[in-house]
Amino acid sequence: MKIKKNGEIRTAYFYISPLLTIILLFILIPIVGTFINSLYRDITYLPSRFTGFTNYVDLIKLSDFWNSFKFTTLFTVVSVSLETVLGISFALLLKEVFTGRSFLRTILLIPWAIPTAISARLWQLMYNYNYGLLNYFLDVTHTGAKVNWLGTARGAFWAITIADVWKTTPFMTLILLAGLQTIPDELYEQAMVDNATMWKRFLYITLPLLRPALVVALIFRTADALRIFDLVYVLTGGGPAGSTRTISILGFHYFVNGDFGTGSAVSIIIFLLVFIFSFFYIRAGRFKETL
Partner 1 sequence: MKEANVKKILIVVGTIFFTLFVLIPVIWMLFVSLTKDLGFLQGGGVNLTLSNYVNIISNKNLHMLDYLKNSIIISTTVSFLVIFIAGFGAYAITRFNFPGKFTIPLMMLAISIFPQISIAGYLFKIESNLRLINTYPALIFPYTAWTAPLALWILISYFSQIPRELDEAALVDGANRKNILLKIVFPLSVPGLISAFLIVFIACINELLFALLLTTDYRAQTISVGITLFQGLHGEIPWGELMASASLVTVPLIILTLFLQKYIISGLTRGGVKG
Candidates 51-59, 144-152, 153-161, 213-221: pick the segment binding partner 1 (CB under 8 A): 213-221
277 is an interface residue for partner 1 by CB under 8 A: yes
158 is an interface residue for partner 1 by CB under 8 A: no
DSSP state, 114? S
The runs of H, that is alpha helices, within the chain are 2-23, 29-38, 54-60, 63-95, 101-108, 110-113, 116-127, 133-141, 153-180, 185-193, 198-201, 207-226, 230-235, 247-256, 260-284, 287-290
Among 110, 203, 207, 241, binds partner 1 (CB under 8 A): 110
Candidates 56-64, 73-81, 96-104, 147-155: pick the segment binding partner 1 (CB under 8 A): 96-104
Among 79, 119, 168, 236, binds partner 1 (CB under 8 A): 119
The 3-state DSSP class for residue 50 equals strand
Shortest reach from residue 52's CB to partner 1, in Å:
19
117 is an interface residue for partner 1 by CB under 8 A: yes
Candidates 56-64, 131-139, 143-151, 152-160: pick the segment binding partner 1 (CB under 8 A): 131-139
Candidates 55-63, 76-84, 142-150, 173-181: pick the segment binding partner 1 (CB under 8 A): 173-181
Give the interface size with partner 1 as a residue count (CB under 8 A). 107
Candidates 47-55, 63-71, 118-126, 148-156: pick the segment binding partner 1 (CB under 8 A): 118-126
Site string for partner 1, 133-152 (x = CB under 8 A): x--x----------------
Residues 28, 20: Cα–Cα separation, whole Å: 10
Site for partner 1 in 15-74 (CB under 8 A): 15-16, 18-20, 22-23, 25-27, 30-31, 33-34, 37
194 is an interface residue for partner 1 by CB under 8 A: no
Candidates 53-61, 77-85, 94-102, 151-159: pick the segment binding partner 1 (CB under 8 A): 94-102
Among 123, 147, 168, 244, binds partner 1 (CB under 8 A): 123
122 is an interface residue for partner 1 by CB under 8 A: yes
Q: Quick one: which of 24, 200, 164 has its CA closest to 80?
A: 164
Residues 66, 269: Cα–Cα separation, whole Å: 12
| DSSP labels, 124-154 | HHHH-TTT-HHHHHHHHHTSS----TTTSHH
Q: Please tell me whether the peptide bond between 240 and the residue prior to it is cis, using omega within 30 degrees of 0.
A: yes
Burial of 1 (0-12, 13-18, 19+ CB in 10 A): exposed
Shortest reach from residue 186's CB to partner 1, in Å:
19
| DSSP labels, 155-188 | HHHHHHHHHHHHHHHHHHHHHHHHHHTTS-HHHH
Instruction: Give CA torsion, residues 242, 248, 250, 251, to 10 deg.
Output: -170
